[in-house]
């Protein structure tokens, strides 16, 4: 990546569930940022040459022998450093301070008293004030390293904010990245703009021009094959790559029979007729559905679909005379969730993406122009590229499609039932003017049947579950609070109009960081 590396912030991840929110807040301040796990931070530092460093929180204790550390030379690099929660503790420990278990742990809302001044507070907080923050710590700093002064304290953290203004080292015991710290985004903006001296002028227009140059440099005279899925990610990637290299790009749209209603026709019309992008339309629904026969375990379905996609791409690449590159719409959350930063289970969360590279047998390299972007940033780039709002604003749709919205075995009959129910649900959401207020809404065909009464008859049919969530970055999700009248109207339509469903339920589950799909 060649995106103005000297105008960036490096975020060192120690395993916090909300590290990605730090990147979001920094980017909201108009500054480019990247996350690197602590054990890969040296590599990212050399590549980015950042103007500042942020150390994230994490679940470890610095008193453990094998707990993660920041590369020691970061503290000698002359760069501003902001250390958050565990980051504060490891910075204090590595610079000669002392960390110990707290007798007054703090988890949740807390209040800090401002008892000193700091450039971090410029235009925001002042000595003598009290402010709400969000704490999550069991340990705390007991002795500050030489050169540090306390500028804010809470009941459970005497060094809630401690700084070495001379060396531009700033440490917080609370989490400024979460919404529960009302002024947290402004604190982070102060750090990247005032302390690190970055102008805050990173825009999608700049990203577009940079990525066009990157694509041309990577591809040269080579041929690129891009897999369209019908979603916004692959659509934006395809249009961006086409702008960069023109007819060196061929798009392959594989209709796996698992798409939403009328979606295949929309994809073909947009790319073949509107953009005049070379497009190969492959109807492989029989191949995919045949392979899914007998599979009911989610990961087995994902792997079958992924393997079949790759097989088809290889075959189509051969037909067009061979391709040197495979383009796909991998996003930053895919990358974050597919890499186990601290040995956790995240390596399997996004297994349907080839974020770790392609199988060795494929003689192609990956082109992933959206790899550094969050979903809402992809939408902004799509608008910058002039994509129709119908595509840019479309709710996310997973690569495996309806296969992971049909728990249990996937059949054509079940897909057809779900497609109809899903279309009614989305139509009612649009009719109510709610589509753009919702991040993702979809129907799920549950692997259970229930006895119901329709008119004078008893029925034994499927249960349909409805889900709708709000989100900004696709990493966390809260339910959308439909009113009872709306849900009743949708349920009545689905039961009346979709043969095979006799009961509808609504999923009221919120999700912490991680996948927001239903499996």
What's the full length of the chain, in residues? Answer: 519
Residue 414: helix, strand or coil by DSSP?
Answer: helix
Residue 428: helix, strand or coil by DSSP?
Answer: helix
Residues 306 and 219: their CA atoms lie apart, in Å, by: 24
Return the bridge partners of 114, or none: 152
> DSSP per residue over 406-449, as a string?
S-S---HHHHHHHHHHHHHHHHHHHHTT-GGG-SEEEEEEEEEE
Q: Which token pair is 278?
A: 């070379």
Residue 99: helix, strand or coil by DSSP?
Answer: strand
pTM confidence score: 0.74
> Closest by alpha carbon to 422, among 461, 486, 468?
468
**Beta carbons of 176 and 185 less than 8 angstroms apart:** yes
Cα distances (Å, whole numbers) of residue 86 to 66, 121, 416: 14, 21, 50
- Residues identified as active-site: 85, 175, 177
**Beta carbons of 25 and 176 less than 8 angstroms apart:** yes
Q: What is the residue-level pLDDT of the chain in tens, covering all 519 positions?
A: 344 445 899 999 998 878 888 988 999 899 999 899 999 999 999 999 999 999 999 888 888 888 899 999 999 999 999 999 999 999 999 999 988 877 666 667 889 999 999 999 999 999 999 999 988 766 778 889 999 999 999 887 888 999 999 999 999 999 999 878 889 999 999 999 999 999 988 888 888 998 999 999 999 999 999 988 778 898 999 999 999 999 999 999 989 999 999 888 888 888 887 788 889 999 999 999 999 999 988 889 989 998 898 888 788 888 887 788 989 888 877 776 665 444 433 333 344 444 445 666 667 889 999 988 888 889 999 999 999 888 888 888 887 889 989 999 999 999 999 999 999 999 999 999 999 999 899 999 999 999 987 776 788 999 999 999 988 666 567 889 999 999 999 999 999 999 999 999 998 876 654 444 554
């Amino acid at each position: 990546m060649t995106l103005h590396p000297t105008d960036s912030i490096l975020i060192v991840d120690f395993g916090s569930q909300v590290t990605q929110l730090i990147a979001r807040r920094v980017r909201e301040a108009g500054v480019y940022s990247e996350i690197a796990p602590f054990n890969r931070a040296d590599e990212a530092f050399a590549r980015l040459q950042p103007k500042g460093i942020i150390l994230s929180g994490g679940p470890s204790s610095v008193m453990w022998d094998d707990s993660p550390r920041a590369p020691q030379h970061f503290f000698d690099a002359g760069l501003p450093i902001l250390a958050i929660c565990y980051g504060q503790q490891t910075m204090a420990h590595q610079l000669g301070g002392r960390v110990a278990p707290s007798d007054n742990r703090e988890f949740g809302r807390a209040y800090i008293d401002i008892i000193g001044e700091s450039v971090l507070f410029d235009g925001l907080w002042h000595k003598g004030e009290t402010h709400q923050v969000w704490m999550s710590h069991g340990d705390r700093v007991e002795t500050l390293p030489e050169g540090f002064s306390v500028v804010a304290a809470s009941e459970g953290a005497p060094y809630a904010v401690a700084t070495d203004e001379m060396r531009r080292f700033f440490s917080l015991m609370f989490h400024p990245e979460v919404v529960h710290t009302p002024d947290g985004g402004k604190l982070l903006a102060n750090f990247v703009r005032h302390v690190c001296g970055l102008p805050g002028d990173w825009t999608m227009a700049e990203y577009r021009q940079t990525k066009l140059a990157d694509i041309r440099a990577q591809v040269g005279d080579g041929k690129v094959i891009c897999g369209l899925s019908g979603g916004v990610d692959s659509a934006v990637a395809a249009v961006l790559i086409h702008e960069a290299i023109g007819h060196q790009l061929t798009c392959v749209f594989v209709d796996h029979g698992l798409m939403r209603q009328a979606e295949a026709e929309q994809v073909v019309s947009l790319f073949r007729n509107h953009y005049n992008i070379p497009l190969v339309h492959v109807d492989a629904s029989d191949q995919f559905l045949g392979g899914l026969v007998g599979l009911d375990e989610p990961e087995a379905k994902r792997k079958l679909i992924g393997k079949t996609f790759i097989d088809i791409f290889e075959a189509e690449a051969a037909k067009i005379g061979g391709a040197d590159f495979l383009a796909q719409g991998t996003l930053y959350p895919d990358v974050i969730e597919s890499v186990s930063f601290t040995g956790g289970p995240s390596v399997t969360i996004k297994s349907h993406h080839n974020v770790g590279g392609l199988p060795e047998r494929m003689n192609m390299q990956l082109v992933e122009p959206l790899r550094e972007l969050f979903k809402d940033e992809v939408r902004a780039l799509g608008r910058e590229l002039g994509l129709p709002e119908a595509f840019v604003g479309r709710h996310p749709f997973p690569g495996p499609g309806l296969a992971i919205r049909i728990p249990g075995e996937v059949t054509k009959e079940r897909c057809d039932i779900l497609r109809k129910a899903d279309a009614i649900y989305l139509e009612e959401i649009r009719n109510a003017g709610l589509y753009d207020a919702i991040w993702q809404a979809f129907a799920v065909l549950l692997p259970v049947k229930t006895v119901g009464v329709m008119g004078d008859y008893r029925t034994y049919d499927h249960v349909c579950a409805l889900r709708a969530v709000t989100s900004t970055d696709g990493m966390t999700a809260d339910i959308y609070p439909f009113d009872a009248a709306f849900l009743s109207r949708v349920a009545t339509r689905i039961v009346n109009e979709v043969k095979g469903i006799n009961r509808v339920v609504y999923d009221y589950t919120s999700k912490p960081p991680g996948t927001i799909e239903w499996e």
